[in-house]
Amino acid sequence: MTFLRIMKVSEDWIADRMHQIDASGIRKVFDLAATMKDPVNLSIGQPHYDTPQPVKDALCEAVQQGRNAYSQTQGIAPLNDVLRADLDRRYGHADRDVFVTSGTSGGLLLTLCTLINPGDEVIIFDPWFVMYRHLVALAGGRVVPISTYPDFRIRIDDVRAAMTPQTRLIIFNSPANPTGVVATPEETKAIAELAAEQNIALLSDEIYSAFCYDSEFCSPAQWNDRTIVIDGFSKSHSMTGLRLGYLHAPNYLVRQMLKLQQFTFVCAPHPVQWAGLTAWELDLTGNRDDYRRRRSLLVEALDGRYEICGGEGAFYLFLKAPWGSGTQFVTEAIRRNLLIIPGSVFSAQDSHFRVSFAAEDSVLLKGAKILRDLADHPPTTA
């Protein structure tokens, strides 16, 4: 009886905001993978290459040199200097500033907590990256989703129609996770100009900017000098576990975010920042070209059996299940030892699933064979 009473009291301690945040659906799939014997894994949301050796060497050297204490909250000056020089070259915005974050997720949290008041509305596009919805809830905001089905393109009239006096922020992601869609310059310019016209903040998540396969990357910051941009080294340099990102925005916003970083993350990992300085100098276009080839390999292997939209950037195809719901299809795929992610993890709809082509060719071909068999021979109960 006493134990039950203690449990009840402990549950009462949980803040209301936590009940708006679910455990990650991707994490549940990863937990399931741990129980599978040698699965064909096309669920990975990170490069399958190892961190480049010069980056690992620079990290070890920084540790050995004693660069293990806190850095400045904004990041080490040498890394900030190269980032700022790049931004000045690309945009020439008089008041744009940059600082180093603890991954792009750190930048997302800082942005939302700096901008969002309780009850403010945040526009996101469905399908969305899994963190957006939960971090908006954590900041006290309310998500307003805009469907991009069936082709995953942003229609500017839909965005305008979704705006209300409570709209505070639009989150834009190109190349997009989970669809792999790259917004066209026309789409990007339209959303940048609409946000500026309506005096609504625009956050551009550009973590996959190094992975555009069929066109050049473009940022809404080209057309809206108040755009907040987050980027980082996780995907481009296979540094996901090292937690190194950066954020650039108008100076008055950066000042506020640095106050919050000082009392939350404190700083990005100090020795990793020195490794990032080395990473910045590396030419990894060969990795991008190889992912373009792997994308084409998987698309050709699935041609004729699946509706394929996107795949223009990032590492993903977002495919419509040829039978059943996305969850039913993924459940059967896992039964056949193929690990993929149901689309409902990223969306209000349950019609698609995400496949990653960040894998060796042999794994991609095994996965493609299972996917072809799933399309050709669905279970009798489907």
pLDDT of residue 326: 95
124 within 8 A of 142, measured Cβ to Cβ: no
**How long, in residues, is the chain?**
382
Q: What is the DSSP string of 39-53?
A: -EE----S-SSPPPH
241 within 8 A of 46, measured Cβ to Cβ: no
pLDDT of residue 21: 76
Query: What's the CA gap between 59 and 271, in Å, rounded?
Result: 6
Which residues in the chain show pLDDT less than 50? none
The pairing of beta strand 201-205 with beta strand 167-173: parallel
Query: What's the CA gap between 75 and 55, in Å, rounded?
Result: 17
Query: What's the CA gap between 280 and 290, in Å, rounded?
Result: 20
Q: Which residues contact 332 (CB under 8 A, 6 or more apart)?
A: 324, 374, 378, 379, 382
Q: Which residues contact 200 (CB under 8 A, 6 or more apart)?
A: 163, 167, 168, 169, 170, 194
pLDDT of residue 197: 98
192 within 8 A of 227, measured Cβ to Cβ: yes
> Can you say whether residue 156 is alpha, beta or left, with left for phi > 0 and alpha for psi between -120 and 50 degrees?
alpha
Positive or negative, the CA dihedral 315, 360, 306, 329 is: negative
CA distances (Å), origin 235, targets 176, 185, 206, 211, 244: 13, 23, 10, 9, 10
pLDDT of residue 4: 55
| CATH code matching the domain that covers 16-45+284-376, chosen among 3.40.190.10, 3.90.650.10, 3.90.1150.10, 3.40.50.11900 | 3.90.1150.10
DSSP 14: S
User: Nearest 5 degrees, angle CA 123-CA 127-CA 131?
Assistant: 70
Q: pTM for the full model?
A: 0.94
pLDDT of residue 24: 57
DSSP 117: P
Q: Residue 171 phi/psi, 5° resolution?
A: -105, 120
Quickly count helices (H) and strands (E) in the chain. 13, 13
Task: Report the CATH architecture of 54-280.
Answer: 3-Layer(aba) Sandwich (3.40)
pLDDT of residue 16: 83
Q: Give the domain ranges of the chain.
A: 16-45+284-376, 54-280
Query: What's the CA gap between 190 and 187, in Å, rounded?
Result: 5
pLDDT of residue 6: 53
230 within 8 A of 107, measured Cβ to Cβ: yes
pLDDT of residue 23: 66
Query: What's the CA gap between 164 and 244, in Å, rounded?
Result: 35
